[in-house]
Amino acid sequence: MQILSEQDKITTVEKGSIVTPLGFHTAGVAAGIRYTKLDLGVIFSEKEANSAAVYTTNLFQAAPIKVTQESIASEGILQAVVVNSGCANACTGSQGYEDALKMRALTAEKLGVKDTYVAVASTGVIGEYLNMEKVEQGLAKLTLGSSSEDAEAFQTAILTTDLVMKTCCYSAVIDGKTVTVGGTAKGSGMIHPNMATMLAFLTTDANISSESLSTALKQVINQTFNQITVDGDTSTNDMVLVMANGMAENHSLSPEHPEWSTFVQLLRMSCESLAKQIAKDGEGATKLVEVEVNGAVNDSEARWVAKQIIGSSLVKTAIYGADANWGRIIGAIGQSQAQLNPETVDVAIGPIKMLEKSEPCKFSEEEALDYLKGDFVKILVDLHVGPGKGKAWGCDLSYDYIKINASYRS
């Protein structure tokens, strides 16, 4: 009998979205916060959903983050998430906090749920007050649905400088029931999580307690969202939030459940997909870059080295210029302060070996140039000091990144 790996048990749901898991509905409208663009969205669960979230480590946490933390801390249950783009409602003092509370209350009233069953998220310019009159008018116009158009409306409403929507959907059979995870995210610049200017929302019909959901989310977050970087800046509003309404009717999941690892893998693949889509859509980016590090002392140090490489401006600009300058990769590895032996490092760019046991390899500059001109670049590193392995994702650094961020407010 063939034994399936955890990844083999996961199925990609083609054209799936955040409304594919049972019992979820969404909407997105143009409230006028961002002129005529869709800028206000809601996710709603028919049933109370056990929920968990992780938040930015930036000390200037925005008011919506604080309100969402209070909502989840109350009972660990949500039924809705309300999100606006165009204004971060960050660094706005007591008024910003009151506005976030009002946004929560208005949404709760609209949907007929308890205030504390609503999470709030905002993204956009820091230091400006949210136009609550427009928020209220926008909420009044919302009509929830579960079609692909309804999902797309929400996914569009949360974008800022993003060029594309980010979405994913996966399923697996657990306890004989099909359990589905759908996700969407926004993020393009100020990406260097522990978290960054990034919002990600995942819905699932899995039956799982908020405590176990939090355990699973924290387990996968360091391998996924915390391993992407666009520009090294963390923001004030970042959040990854998961709602689980139990409508798949599997037995309650916990670390003791025999298929716990299948659910964790389902959640990990969802988070990794969204994380890579964010990295690929970095402001001004022309390439998605993946760094894979093997042979570190442990997995944590492997992830550390991988993120150090992809976070290097010199590495990123070399990739933009299609320059196989492996010396910049070595420089980034050396600054990571990870345990390593300077005599045993291997480096390859795609299929092309650059360094073996810290000795330069002869390679074709033409072949390297052709590879680096593609829209996906993989850097492989082996430190040869232990069993640790890890990955990180990012993008190149182009002239357009400066253009976009030099005029962000305009």
Nearest one of 77, 102, 79, 76 to 89, comparing CA atoms: 102
Spatial separation of the C-alpha atoms in residues 151 and 138, rounded to whole Å: 17
pLDDT at residue number 388: 96
In the numeric block, which tokens belong to residue 166?
């980010």
- Can you tell me the mean pLDDT for 181-190? 80
Active-site option among 167, 180, 197, 203? 197
Cα–Cα distance for residue pair 382/393, rounded to 1 Å: 17
**pLDDT tens for residues 16-63?**
999 999 999 999 999 999 888 999 999 999 999 999 999 887 777 899
Strands 376-382 and 288-296: parallel
Q: Which domains does the chain have, with CATH numbers?
A: 8-280 (3.60.70.12), 288-406 (3.10.20.340)
Strand ordering across the sheet containing 346-349:
228-229, 388-395, 288-296, 376-382, 346-349, 352-356, 359-360
Assess contact for 112 and 87: CB atoms under 8 A.
no
DSSP H or E segment with residue 388? strand 388-395
Instruction: Return the pLDDT at 29.
Output: 97
Q: In this predicted model, what pLDDT tens digit does every residue of 240-253 receive, in sequence order? A: 999 999 999 999 99
Query: Torsion over CA of 191, 274, 182 and 145, rounded to 10 degrees?
Result: 60
> 279 or 270: which carries more pLDDT confidence?
270
What whole-number distance in Å separates Cα of residue 70 and Cα of residue 389?
A: 36
Instruction: Give the separation between CA 12 and CA 395, rounded to whole angstroms.
Output: 25
Mark whether 204 is an active-site residue.
no
Please give the Cα distance from 328 to 401 (Å, whole number): 20
Q: Is the pLDDT of residue 154 over 60?
A: yes
The confidence score (pLDDT) of residue 27 equals: 98
Q: What is the pLDDT of residues 89-143, one digit of tens each?
A: 998 999 999 999 999 999 999 999 999 999 999 998 888 999 999 999 999 999 9
Structure confidence at residue 401 as a pLDDT band (50, 70, 90): low
51: amino acid identity, one letter? S
Q: Report the alpha-carbon distance of residue 278 to residue 78 in Å, rounded.
A: 25
β strands within 20-128, DSSP E: 24-29, 40-55, 77-87, 118-125
Q: In the prediction, which pLDDT does 38 show?
A: 95
Pick the more confident residue, 132 or 316.
132
pLDDT in tens, 329-349: 999 998 888 899 999 999 999
